[in-house]
Amino acid sequence: MVQDIILILDFGGQYCHLISRRIRENNVRSEIVPHDISLKDLQELSLKFNIKGIILSGGPASIYEKNSPRFNKTILKLDIPILGICYGHQLIAHYAGGIVIPAKTKEYGSSVARIRKHEDIFSGLKDNEQVWMSHGDTVLKIPKDYTIIADTTDCPIAAYKSRSKHIYGLQWHPEVTHTKNGSKILKNFIFGICNARPDWKVDALVKTYIKNIKTTVGNKKAIIALSGGIDSTTATSLAAVALHKNLIAVFVDHGFMRDGEPEKIDAIAKNLGIKYMHINAKGRFLEKIKKIINPETKRKIIGREFIKVFEEIAKKVDADYLIQGTIYPDRIESGQSKKSEIIKTHHNVGGMPSKIKFRGLVEPLKELYKDEVRELAVKLGLREDIIYRQPFPGPGLAVRIIGTVTPKKLAILKRADSIVTSEIEDNLKERPWQYFAVLTDTKSTGVRGDGRSYGYVIAIRIVESDEAMAAAFSKVPYTILERISTKITNEIPEVVRVVYDITNKPPSTIEWE
């Protein structure tokens, strides 16, 4: 049976990925596609999937800006339900003959929407609903054949619907948790309007992914980049079943790993029972980035060097394919969509050279979010300590040292990070999503004994998240933070100050670089 899917046209909005996640949480497949996807591409997708609905995401542009992102207006004539959110809401109104203007009062934050029509997309909602707004333009006049279904004090046309087609527009963001009943609105659209089947089950994808790897690689050999994280380990488990003796796992130790990390990766490979190579490339990588300050440049250099090492290994073992544990957020944050900003280049996506010496690149997890990878890992029977291991960036500690990377700085950060890890894991029953230390490029005055001391500032980052696309700083007890600070400053003489990062994502990223 052809799988149902909801497509999301990406206009560069920061919440685009959240729309996708909210759909998948309802066990319906979602896919983010370019905002200007052609009718031909839609037709090709319809041969693979049953397109049940299309959502137009928000975005930072104004529809009247030169080169603002647009979509093929013929899509509005298709017999497919359409929902426009924020920028998408404005664009539909504009294309259908309405009027959009800069708002007299721009809305950013929580607002109250008055629901006029308690049916279809608003079925089961109250008269007044708390919603989250983030817009500068507003719809002044709706198109003919459209009707207003919600308003706010500062936005008279906060939501509308077509009288003759299943086309809806919302000025607010139902995908964010700040919109109290946003999930209900999306459920109404997904199931009540699109009639989508909840047939997206991650644990049922194991056979499909194994088959895809087999089909792609065939009887050739492949090497897989094993970093010990949940993504690469899950990808390795899938590839091991698919390829057996034709798979070689390769761990490239670039020297930017945490204390004890290489030994853990060796143990993971042994436990998986696969062919395995541990490549010591510490000096090589450090030499490449020793004068580099810019974090994007660091990531790209490390990404390119990884590929060079893999190409050298592949030549030695006669492998034609490279397999990676790239996941969906890696692609999104690396700016894989036309109007998406590059948040940070991931070494295994944007950091890769345009041409690689492999017959093909295989990324079995590229359509999954982190929590979905963990579901898959459970199905594969991986150990809990691997499944719930905190994420670690591919470039490692190189992007947790602000500024240039030196052996001395690496030694300081490894010790600080080890203290953070042990204190969190020993004293918190429920571990946060991620917890680590950052060596800043700031030095500060301190006091040791009766004398002045001048040393580094360590920042502690601890966050809660479900899928890494959004995160909140963890409200760790002060007693734990104090013990971390005391240990770091007592045991690492080069550090005189420890600070705690209380910034959420967005506006920040989880990693500092």
Enumerate the active-site residues: 86, 173, 175
Kindly give the pairing relationship between strand 247-253 and strand 472-473. Answer: unpaired
b vs e for 314-352, b when ≥16 Cβ sit within 10 Å of the residue's Cβ? beeeebbbbbbbbbbbbbbbbbbbebbeebbbbbbbbbb
Name the residue among 423, 434, 437, 439 with its Cα closest to residue 479.
423
- Cβ-count burial of 425 within 10 angstroms (0-12 exposed, 13-18 middle, 19+ buried)? exposed
| Spatial separation of the C-alpha atoms in residues 154 and 169, rounded to whole Å | 17
What element of type H or E holds 366? none
CA angle 231, 288, 341 (to 5 degrees): 55
Contacts with 34 (C-beta within 8 Å, 6 or more apart), sequence order: 9, 10, 337, 338, 339
| Spatial separation of the C-alpha atoms in residues 179 and 23, rounded to whole Å | 16
| Spatial separation of the C-alpha atoms in residues 119 and 107, rounded to whole Å | 26
CB atoms within 10 A of CB 274: 20
Give the dihedral sign, CA 321/323/328/334. Answer: negative
DSSP string, 138-193: EEEEPPTTEEEEEE-SS-S-SEEEESSSSEEEESS-TTSTTSTTHHHHHHIIIIII
What element of type H or E holds 80? none
Residue 68 · residue 91 · CB < 8 Å: no
- Cβ-count burial of 370 within 10 angstroms (0-12 exposed, 13-18 middle, 19+ buried)? buried
Distances (CA, A) of 137 to 56, 97, 107, 151, 467: 16, 16, 9, 15, 31
Residue 240 · residue 247 · CB < 8 Å: yes
Phi/psi for 274 (5° steps) reads -120, 165
Displacement of CA 54 from its chain's centroid (Å): 21
In angstroms and rounded to an integer, the radius of gyration of the C-alpha atoms of the chain is: 25
Distances (CA, A) of 469 to 35, 179, 190, 255, 460: 20, 18, 22, 27, 20
